Amino acid sequence: MTTAHLDTNRHPIGEPAFVASCRDLLDTDGALVLEGFAPADTIAQIVAESAPLESDAFYADKTHNVYLTPNDPKFSAGHPYNRQITSSKGLIADDEIPASSPLREIYQDEDFCSFLCGVLGIDQIYPYADNLSSINVHFAAEGMELGWHFDNSSFAVTMLLQAPEAGAHFEHVPAVRNSAEGDMAYDRVAAVLDGHTKVQTLEFEPGDLVLFRGRDAMHRVTPTEGGTTRLLVVFAYNDQPGVALSESALETFYGRTC
């Protein structure tokens, strides 16, 4: 049974025709925004339980390349592979999400999971095997940003919880590379970094569900402006059971391994 925390009248996730239309949009655009997927009262409840945890979040302010990999000494520091981008955010892990949170009901809802499988074209999805990675709430206070990068995962499922006063625009450039063929797309990456490529902005509001394929699309979130922190939840799934982040990845993302 679908949770009451989803507006299934507006978004009939159990209807094959609706699933097919969402799949077509995602396949065509690389992104899908379902407006008002979670009702306003649900978002208000989630923000009320999440916002007080901001000071307890693990904060990371670091540089990285767009591929999220270590630098390669065979390239110069200015080469697109080695150019450093700044990212900063706060994060609370799955084990810090209250047991009664609507986020858990949404994440575990069987109809929602079936909908995601249908839209993404996969047979099954599974939570992470570690106790930190499945549901994460991200905090971006004034000046925090996510720099240009490609995702390592084939898809991302997110929902904005609280919008800032200004800034924090989600910008992306579709089909910069073809990771399946090992295309690193150095020239196209450099063009994006140098501001020579037209970028697209994905608009969404609190309660909107966003599915995004970021493995081959470069994307970023511009710095938050103003005193209201941007809150975003990431619903992280795998298409295979038993997958857990490595201890080094857990330490990087959460500042701990358990």
Residue 3 has pLDDT above 80, yes or no: no
State how far the Cα of 105 lies from the Cα of 46, in Å rounded to an integer: 12
- Average pLDDT on 94-120 reads 96
Q: pTM, whole model, 2 decimals?
A: 0.94
pLDDT in tens, 194-253: 999 999 999 999 999 999 999 999 999 999 999 999 999 999 998 889 988 888 778 888
- Residues 61-76 have pLDDT tens digits of 888 999 998 899 999 9
Q: Quick one: which of 172, 169, 179 has its CA closest to 215?
A: 179
How confident is the prediction for the chain on average, in pLDDT?
Answer: 95
Task: Enumerate the domain spans of the chain.
Answer: 16-237+247-253
Assigned token pair, 214: 């970021």
Mean pLDDT within 92-120: 96
User: CA 153, CA 250: separation in Å to the nearest integer?
Assistant: 16
Say whether pLDDT at 1 is over 60.
no
16-237+247-253 has CATH 1.20.1200.10 classification: no
Rounded average pLDDT over 107-132: 95
